């Protein structure tokens, strides 16, 4: 059994297209790293001058969102409840003095965005590459026999279609492994350019750190205390969960589709639909907020992980709830797709 797993894993890892894609990702990450920031004189010794959390009233944020989004009824009450819960975290941050953490001083916001922002940050770009790689490797692994015209020979053997289970486990292993490798190379380059040794112990909820939202500029408030290092690892952990989600999505579509190219287009279409759904559902409905918790939206809003989530969610811990629900749903669909594959005619 282990031999079959290694054999399927080798099939994936010896695909030239995989390493071409990885090299292109590394080159892209190098050239998009904002090296001009090296010329900035970072003062990481001067603390923020006042405690931004001392008189920070989260109920005002709730009412601002409710007014701006025209929320009513249970949805409005849920928004108020979320920020009432967040007030406890704010009060704790005020007592603990998180606001006085220097982080990168007056350049904290741009450095935080440079590393953590979902679309413009190195971690966000890296995660997007990991998601694409995970889905692509799953499609290639599941569709390998169809691509090489060996379906009839392989699936007619004694092991038969049970070999699909080894393909799935190999594709998930490869997807996560290659993402870890890509992350190691990318972060090695990034941290060689920018020295974070003096800020890892600082708090991400520094008074210098803020979020620009359509209701105004808000302090970067997390629902629990995070140092820069713990926030980095927590974010990276959620990213790994989303990579696993895309691996499972690739497996599902790969087993249902008889053509790898069509399968990739289906992956793109599914995620395009997930992005579009919240934009067409009225804001006053619960399902509007639930639809923001799909893997692709979680990636898009990764700069809000471990915060209140702003206007896109009614719940704290939205990144964990969304990732957990997605993993459970996709796992169930994966099992069903495998059952369907076992009975499908190979044409």
Each residue of 87-127: pLDDT tens digit? Answer: 999 999 999 999 999 999 888 988 999 999 877 789 999 99
For residue 102, the Cα-to-chain-centroid distance in whole angstroms is 27
Angle at which helix 228-256 crosses helix 122-142, to 10 degrees, equals 30
Comparing 21-25, 95-99, 149-153, 324-328, which segment has the lowest mean pLDDT? 149-153
pLDDT score recorded for residue 144: 62
214 token code pair: 């359509």
pLDDT score recorded for residue 159: 59
How far, in Å, CA of 285 to CA of 279, rounded?
Answer: 12
Share of the chain above pLDDT 70, in %: 91
pLDDT score recorded for residue 173: 94
pLDDT score recorded for residue 3: 79
DSSP 50-74: S-TTTT--HHHHHHHHHHHHT--HH
How far, in Å, CA of 253 to CA of 260, rounded?
Answer: 9
pLDDT score recorded for residue 29: 86
Share of the chain above pLDDT 90, in %: 62
CB 66 within 8 A of CB 223: no
Q: What's the pLDDT tens digit per position in 232-286? A: 999 999 999 999 999 999 999 988 886 777 888 999 999 999 999 999 998 888 9
Residue 192 has pLDDT above 80, yes or no: yes
pLDDT score recorded for residue 151: 56
Scanning the structure block, which residue is given the tokens 């931004």? 52
Among 149, 83, 145, smallest CA distance to 311 is for 83
Residue 156 has pLDDT above 60, yes or no: no
Among 124, 142, 120, smallest CA distance to 266 is for 142
Higher confidence at residue 234 or residue 158? 234
């Amino acid at each position: 059994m282990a031999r079959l797993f290694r054999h399927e894993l080798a099939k994936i890892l010896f695909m030239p297209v995989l390493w071409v894609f990885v090299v292109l990702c590394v080159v892209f990450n190098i050239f998009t790293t904002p090296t001009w920031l090296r010329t900035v004189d970072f003062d990481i010794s001067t603390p923020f001058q006042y405690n931004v959390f001392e008189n920070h009233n989260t109920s005002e944020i709730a009412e601002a969102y409710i007014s701006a989004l025209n929320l009513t009824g249970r949805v409005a009450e849920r928004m108020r409840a979320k920020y009432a819960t967040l007030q406890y975290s704010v009060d704790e941050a005020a007592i603990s003095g998180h606001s006085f953490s220097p982080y990168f001083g007056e350049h904290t916001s741009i450095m935080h965005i440079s590393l953590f922002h979902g679309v413009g940050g190195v971690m966000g770009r890296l995660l997007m590459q990991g998601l694409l790689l995970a889905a692509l490797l799953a499609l290639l692994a599941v569709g390998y026999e169809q691509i090489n015209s060996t379906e009839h020979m392989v699936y007619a053997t004694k092991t038969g279609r049970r070999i699909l289970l080894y393909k799935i486990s190999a594709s998930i292993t490869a997807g996560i492994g290659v993402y870890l490798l890509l992350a190691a190379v990318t972060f090695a380059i990034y941290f060689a350019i920018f020295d974070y040794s003096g800020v890892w112990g600082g708090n991400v909820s520094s008074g210098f750190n803020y979020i620009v939202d359509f209701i105004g500029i808000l302090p970067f408030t997390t629902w629990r205390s995070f140092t820069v290092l713990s926030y980095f690892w927590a974010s990276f952990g959620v990213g790994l969960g989303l990579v696993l989600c895309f691996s499972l999505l690739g497996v599902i579509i790969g087993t249902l589709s008889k053509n790898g190219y069509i399968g990739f287009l289906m992956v793109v279409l599914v995620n395009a639909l997930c992005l579009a759904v919240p934009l067409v559902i009225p804001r006053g409905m619960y399902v509007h907020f639930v639809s923001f918790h799909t893997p692709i939206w979680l990636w898009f809003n990764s700069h809000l992980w471990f915060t209140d989530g702003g206007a896109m969610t009614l719940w704290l811990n939205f990144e964990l709830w969304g990732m957990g629900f997605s993993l459970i749903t996709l796992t169930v669909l994966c099992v069903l797709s495998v059952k369907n594959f076992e009975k499908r005619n190979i044409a």
